Amino acid sequence: MSALDAALRGEIMALLVRLCRERDMAMLLVSHDLAGIEHHADRLLLLDQGRVIESGSARQIATAPATDYGKRLMAATPRLSEPLAELPVTGEIILETEKVTVTFPKPGWQRGRIGAVVDADLSLARGETLALVGGSGSGKSTLGRAIAGLGPMASGTIRWQGDALPQREHRSTEHRRLIQPVFQDPVASLDPRWSVTDIILEPVKFLATIASPPEANGYVEKLLQEVGLPPDFAIRKPASLSGGQAQRVAIARALSANPDMLLLDEATSALDPLVADGVVELFGRLQRERGLSLLFITHDLALARRAAHRIAVMEAGRIVECASREELFTSPRAEATKRLIAASG
C-alpha cells in the first residue's frame, strides 16, 4: 500500500473492507505503513526481530503504544497533526523552470500525444527542500526527471543560476554533475554485479576526477562514513544489503559527484517508518553540511509537511498550487490540495 498515494490507498482499503463484509471474509494486512492501516484494522500485531512484541486494538496501539519499539515506530510515522520542526535557512534561487512540458505518444492506434507535464513553473533555492506531491500519474516524477535531464525531451526553459540548461544530450559534464538522483527502489537502482565501491565511483568516472586507486578508496570510505555506513561495506554486493543500507549506498553514489542538488524520487516510500525516518534525517544533515537543495518527490503529504520548506501540488500534469508548508495546510486553494489533505488526515 505504501506505493500508492493517500487517496488511492483509501479507495483500495475501502474496497477490501467492503469485499470482506460482503463475502464474510477475514483479512490479514502485512504492512509497514501504520498511518495507512490504523483506521482499517481491528487488531494490530507489532513484530520486531521476528517476535510479536505488542498486540491489541489497532487504534489503541496507534495512539498509545505500550512498548519502546511501538513508541519509536509511531514517532517515526509522519502525521499532519505533528508540530513543525525547524528547517535550514535557504539562500538564493538556483533552479527555475518556465513552462516545462513533457508529452508522450498516445498508446496503440490512437493519434496525438498525452501531456504528462504541462507548463510547469517552479523555483528552488540553495539549501531548500521543495516537495513535489500529487496522486499517482500526476506527472511529478516525469517533471523531476526532465529537470535532471534523465527523462524524455522537454520543451520550455530550465535555468540554473539564471543560465538556461541545454537539452539532455547537449549538457556538459558540469551540467550533469549539478543534479544527482536517488530513486524509489534502492536495491533495483544498484547493479547487483558490482561492489559498493564500484557503485559509488561510477559517477566519479564521468563527472569528477580521482587521481589514483588509493585516493579513490579513501573517497569511498569518506562517503560511506558520511551516509552512516562502516568502511567494510565497500566490498559488499547489493544482495547483502538491507533496503535502508542500499538506499544509503545510493545516496553515497549521488554525493560522489559533489552535486548542488539531489532529485529524490520517492526515496523513502519502499522503506519501513524507522528506516525511512533515519534516511530523512540523513537528508537533513547532508543539506545543512553541504548546502544541498532537495527536490523531494513524494505522494506522502505528511512526510512533505515534515521535511519540506515549500510544497508544490501536481494534478493531471499541472502544478496547481505551490506554497510554504504552513500556508498550504492552513489555507489550501486548489481542490486537488484539499482532496490530498482530506485523504491524508
Summarize pLDDT for 185-206 with one digit per residue, the tens.
888 889 999 999 999 998 888 7
pLDDT score, position 283: 95
| Distance from C-alpha of 277 to C-alpha of 73, rounded to nearest angstrom | 9
DSSP annotation string for 205-258: HHHS---SHHHHHHHHHHHHHHTT--GGGGG--GGGS-HHHHHHHHHHHHHTT-
| Distance from C-alpha of 187 to C-alpha of 246, rounded to nearest angstrom | 6
pLDDT score, position 185: 85
| Model confidence, pTM | 0.89
Q: Give the residue range(s) of CATH 3.40.50.300 domains in the chain.
A: 93-344
| Distance from C-alpha of 126 to C-alpha of 135, rounded to nearest angstrom | 27
Helix axes 6-23, 335-344, angle to 10 degrees: 50
| Distance from C-alpha of 166 to C-alpha of 169, rounded to nearest angstrom | 8
Summarize pLDDT for 136-163 with one digit per residue, the tens.
889 999 999 999 988 777 889 999 999 9
Q: Which of the following CATH numbers is that of domain 93-344: 3.90.1150.10, 3.40.50.300, 3.40.50.1820, 3.30.70.100?
A: 3.40.50.300
Summarize pLDDT for 272-290 with one digit per residue, the tens.
889 999 999 999 999 999 9
